[in-house]
Amino acid sequence: MKTRPLLSGKGSERKTDRSEAFIDAVLAIAITLPVLDLKLPSPDAGKLLAAEYAMLGTQYISYALSFIVIGFYWTYSHFSGKLWRKTDHGFNLLTLLFLGAVSVTPFPVRPFIEHIHDPVNAQTGAAVYAWTLTAPAVMWTLRWFYGVRRGLLNPHLAENFIAKTSLKYGASAGACICGAIVATFWEWRIGIAIVGLITFSYVIPPIAPTYRAGQEPETDIEEADEDN
């Protein structure tokens, strides 16, 4: 008698449209929340408003970094929608963990920025931020490898594309983990630079999907489940 995997099974498989809509909704909320941390300047009589705005520099930097990081993951999530044919229970659970990891990325930004010149607390701030940036990269990679193993990808995708993408995601997550370890136990500047470089590398467009011979989509923007 065949047994179904604990976290998946034919009964839990669905198309990707609801999953994509949920991801978009969560990230849309997450990307707007950091603006709530911006405080209006309230200068006392005789003080320059420009000077008060200048004093809010850490808030602006924190907001910008938070917006950019969440935005990067949204763009990759938006692109990956055309790669998946279906989801299952385990994949959805990993999606939730990924969204939770992305949503919390704004939390440690401001403490890190405010203590960057503090010799006592700089390493702690950098380490927490490095691990917070590492978490979504790791969850994204685990989600990818789970989906590949479970056969959730568009079956028309070429094997070399899947291999290249797997290598890219695995290497990125591994580099982030190494950077976070360096930031925690050695030199935080080097560690946060490694994690930051990997995170900001997401500005580079993803690898363009390639397909098996004779199974290419009719248009470049054809979604994975249109030919179901």
Does 170 map to a domain?
Answer: yes
Q: What's the whole-number mean pLDDT along residues 117-136? A: 93
Q: Mark out the alpha helices in the chain (DSSP H runs).
A: 17-32, 49-54, 57-80, 89-103, 109-114, 122-149, 159-185, 188-200
CA distance 191 to 64: 21
What is the structure's pLDDT at 3?
46
Q: What's the whole-number mean pLDDT along residues 152-167? A: 89
Q: What's the whole-number mean pLDDT along residues 75-104? A: 88
Does 82 map to a domain?
Answer: yes
Residue identified by tokens 């004093």 is 55
Q: What is the mean pLDDT of the chain?
A: 83
**Domain that includes residue 157, residue range:** 14-203
Question: Of 159-163, 180-184, 209-213, which range is least confident?
Answer: 209-213
Q: Residues of the chain with pLDDT > 70: what percent?
A: 82
Instruction: Give the residue with greater pLDDT, 95 vs 224.
Output: 95
This prediction's pTM: 0.81
Does 29 map to a domain?
Answer: yes
The sign of the dihedral angle between the CA atoms of 197, 182, 105, 139 is positive
Does 164 map to a domain?
Answer: yes
CA distance 43 to 41: 6
Residues in a beta bridge with 157: 211
Residue identified by tokens 């006592």 is 120
- How many domains does the chain fold into? 1
Q: Residues of the chain with pLDDT > 90: what percent?
A: 42
Kindly tell me if the per-residue pLDDT of 160 is higher than 60: yes
pLDDT tens per residue across span 20-69: 888 889 999 999 988 887 777 675 655 677 777 777 778 888 888 999 99
> Are the CB atoms for 142 and 95 separated by under 8 Å?
no
> Are the CB atoms for 139 and 98 separated by under 8 Å?
yes
> Are the CB atoms for 152 and 84 separated by under 8 Å?
yes
Does 84 map to a domain?
Answer: yes
